[in-house]
Homo-oligomer: A and B are copies of this chain.
Amino acid sequence: MFSEIKLTIRQTQILDFLFEFQLKERMAPTYREIADHFGFKSTKAAADHVSALEKKGYLRRHGGRSRGIDLITLTRQSDQKVIGVPILGDIPAGTPEQIIEKQNGTFAVDVKLIGNIGHHRLFALQVRGDSMVGRGIHAGDWVIADADAVPHENNLVVALIDGENTLKTLARKERRYYLKAENPDYNDWIPVTELIIQGIVKIAIRQIY
């Protein structure tokens, strides 16, 4: 490829500040804001540093314009990136593949919440019933589930039972897995062989009234 041009310690500090400012304030700083941050008594110092960073290819400047520093690699969206997660309809099909096809719009989820999921397929659904109140999940809540995650004990899973999506906790007794409803009123332990686990719940979203 190409070897990056080395930066001095100070130039690295300046560049770090530029990124930080852009992320926080959602705009580029002015030379005076840079100077103030570093305690420079002249704006020329800041301008010189930015000029050096431009020469070395770390940024572009839109000459004449205020706040014209353009950090090339940082898009505005990188601060606020969302993933469109398909919403599961009320009567979903069986397999995870079909789930995505039966979608009912999408739900936007901030990547801060899910991190690096790779190519995993996610889906969203709105909770009905109160089988999961024991884990703080109530009717009307939204859950985001990962269709490709490997289930582990104590995971909150989306399972398909009799054509309906239900939320259960994946439990284990000795060597056998079961599904458990987190509500004392329910006592349904269902062996995992009788059903399909469609996804592992990663995020729960509650609207508070």
Chain A residues with CB under 8 Å of chain B are: 22-28, 30, 62, 65-68, 70, 74-77, 79-82, 84, 103-110, 112-113, 136, 142, 156, 201-208
One complex includes copies of this chain to the number of: 2
| A interface majority secondary structure | mixed
Report yes or no: A74 in contact with B77, Cβ–Cβ below 8 A: yes
CB-CB under 8 A from A204, the residues of chain B are 205-206, 208
Q: How far is the CB of A66 from chain B (nearest CB, A)?
A: 4
> Judging by beta carbons under 8 Å apart, are A82 and B74 in contact?
yes
Q: Take A24-B104, A205-B113, A207-B203 as given contacts and tell me if A84 and B76 are in contact as well, using a CB distance cutoff of 8 Å.
A: no
B26 touches A106 (CB 8 A): yes
Determine the distance from Cα of A183 to Cα of B131 in the docked complex, in whole angstroms.
Answer: 23
Nearest-neighbour CB distance to chain B for A122, whole angstroms, equals 13
User: A106 to chain B: which residues have CB within 8 Å?
Assistant: 26, 79-80
Query: Could you list 26 A-B pairs, sorted by A, with CB under 8 Å?
Result: A22-B76, A24-B104, A24-B105, A25-B103, A27-B27, A27-B65, A66-B67, A79-B84, A80-B82, A80-B105, A80-B107, A80-B108, A82-B82, A82-B108, A107-B110, A107-B112, A108-B108, A108-B110, A109-B110, A113-B205, A136-B206, A202-B208, A204-B206, A204-B208, A205-B206, A206-B206
User: Which B residues are in CB contact (< 8 Å) with A113?
Assistant: 142, 205, 207
The answer on a CB contact under 8 Å between B27 and A62 is: yes
